[in-house]
Structure 1
Amino acid sequence: METLLNRLDGIERAETVTGVPLVSGTFPTGEHDRVWRALRAEHPRTGLWPVLGWTAGSAAEGTYDWCHRRQGPDWLAALRTVDPAERMALIVRSKLEWTLGDGDPSDPQIAAWQEEDRAAFDPGRVAEVTGPLREVPPGIRRQTERYPPTEVLLVPAAAGHEVLAMVPGLLLIMNNWMGGPSHPGLRYADHVFVLRHWEDAWGAELYHCRGDSLELAVTRPPRDSLTAATCAIEQWSYCDDLSQILGEVHDVAREQAPADHWSFWWD
């Protein structure tokens, strides 16, 4: 089978601890977007999902640090019993709980602050602040622009979210994420659920991940103010470190949600 992979340098093969076969290749600096898109276009034929930033050996090695029962095809099958939209809604609800805190709502100042917080989780009110979308933002490539990858990993997977389950360790467990009582911590499986939900809703596809950074290529981003607001609330709930560069929820709705490339990081 003729594929771009055959024309890459540094071909490497390895297996995860559960026997998932991995292959990777290298390419010159600055070629990562072209290489990813070409391999993504071949995916329906090859069944191999490309993710930038890893070699097969290093990705496989990382799986040995994870529980064998929480990776591979069997774990992926178990995760399919969870509705990803319901898990996304739980993450949003939990982040709102944490944002509101446990202050006394009978205190007028606290009540005012809590009302502002609730407004940031209301798509209609966020859309009022952002207004109509005047132009499509360019998107953020926080990691791949600063540190262009020169390697691509290919994983036998039907979609990007499956890669995160088949090869855990590509992303870290985010211990600095805080939620309310309904879901106090962001679990590794939540990355799988969130990406699966965004694949369905917006065509957001795994592009690059490494450590505490994640980038997605988006084929159907929201392009009206209300759906962009809904998407931005989900993004900010999943990764409130977006505030470091983008700002508040309405800024995410303007500058990232309607773009065709999204970045997330947990510093």
Structure 2
Amino acid sequence: MRPVKLAELVAESPVVLPDGRLVTPENGGPPAFWLSGAAPAAGLVAELRAGAATTGLQPLLLCNDPRRWARGEVYPAGMSSADSHPTGPLLATWWHEFAPAALASLEPYGEAWPGLAPSGVPGADPDRAAEAFTALLLAGETRLALVAAASGAHALPVLGWWAPGNYTNDTGEIAGVVRGWQDRFGVRVVGISMSELHLSVAAPPRTIEHARQVAAEHYSFCPDQIDQGTGTLEIYARQLTGAAAWSFWWD
């Protein structure tokens, strides 16, 4: 992407934007995202999301730490694209790396990767599901980012989000999994913080059997969901059943 591309897309946006500015990563390089000066209105976020395919700008809520976002604490240099990482092989690799030490918590599964869960049955419109979650995340310290990317998943490495840095140095890997979930579960990236990822889910698992399979994917993606969270995959799966939002936290 040419350095001026983001600025051009923002300038050409058919949506009237509030006060804001382009933010350059603190380590240098072209602007990584446009940042609003205050918390956005929910209607504005919905309008931007609806037009993203046309404008090329993906809206993300930046939760908490507005000064750190404004300072450009993002590191896009060297991150790969979401398209470089098929979901299945990546999750299998992580399962084989982390599951053997936690098998007592992962029943009914064992050391063998259980495979990808079936896709969810479409329910709510993905953009409507995202609107509902947006309303929950909006707060005084929330800011709006606009990122020049093909989808919310693609926006994560383009912006230079690094919350999973203790798990993987390449956010493109995280984005590759989220890209697969966009297709299979109607997921939308609604917000991020310096340690969290917030996704709306339009087609969640509806049965405990399906939820167990999805829970195995989540463990590979973010072991702390169970290791430092629910304690067992079974309890986590119960929480996933019918859940319209998934949030992840990395230590």
Residue aligning to 1:252: 236
* Count of aligned positions: 219
1:119 aligned onto 2:122: no
User: Aligned runs of 1:35-114 on 2, under 5 Å?
Assistant: 35-53=44-62, 58=69, 61-63=72-74, 66=75, 68=77, 70-71=78-79, 75-76=80-81, 80-100=83-103, 113=104
Q: Once the 2 structures are TM-superposed, how far is the Cα of residue 204 of structure 1 from its aligned partner?
A: 1.6
Does the Cα contact within 8 Å between 1:241 and 1:265 map onto a contact in 2?
yes
Q: Aligned partners of 1:80 and 1:96: how far apart in 2?
A: 26
State the Cα deviation string for residues 239-264 of structure 1 (Å, max 9, x = none). Answer: 23324554421222222353121111
Q: 2:206 aligns with which of 195, 217, 223?
A: 223
Query: Which of residues 30, 34, 59 in structure 2 aligns to 1:23?
Result: 34
CA contact 2:48–2:59 (8 Å) conserved in 1: yes
* Distance change in 2, residues 1:242/1:163 (3 Å): same
SS in 2 for 1:154: strand
**Aligned 8 A contact 2:98 2:223 in 1:** no
- The 2-side partners of 1:37 and 1:260 are apart by 17
Distance 2:23 2:151 in 1: 20
Name the CA distance, whole Å, in 1 between partners of 2:102 and 2:51.
43
- Structure 1: segments with no counterpart, 5+ residues: 101-112, 125-137, 178-184
Given candidates 186, 195, 199, the residue that maps to 2:178 is: 195
Give the corresponding residue for 1:134: none
1:167 alignment partner in structure 2 = 159
Confirm or deny: 8 A CA contact 2:58 2:146 kept in the other structure.
yes
Quickly say closer, same or farther: Cα 1:57–1:157, change in 2 above 3 A: farther
Q: Distance in 2 between matches of 1:41 and 1:262?
A: 21
Aligned residue identity for 2:46: R
Superposition TM-score, scaled by structure 1 size: 0.65
Residues 1:67 and 1:2: Cα distance change in structure 2 (over 3 Å): closer
Counterpart among 231, 245, 248 of residue 261 in structure 1: 245
SS at match of 1:93: helix
Compare CA radii of gyration and give the structure with the larger one: 1
SS in 1 for 2:176: helix
The 1:21–1:190 alpha-carbon spacing in structure 2 relative to 1, beyond 3 Å, is closer
For residues 55-104 of structure 1, give each alpha carbon's deviation from its aligned partner in whole angstroms, at most 9, with x where no partner exists: 799368334xx473x14xxx42xx5343222212222232222324xxxx
Cα RMSD (Å) of the superposition? 3.8
Correspondence for 1:158: 150
Q: TM-score, normalised by structure 2?
A: 0.69
Contact 1:232 1:257 in 2 (8 A): no
Residues 39 and 246 of structure 1: CA distance in aligned 2, closer, same or farther (over 3 Å): farther
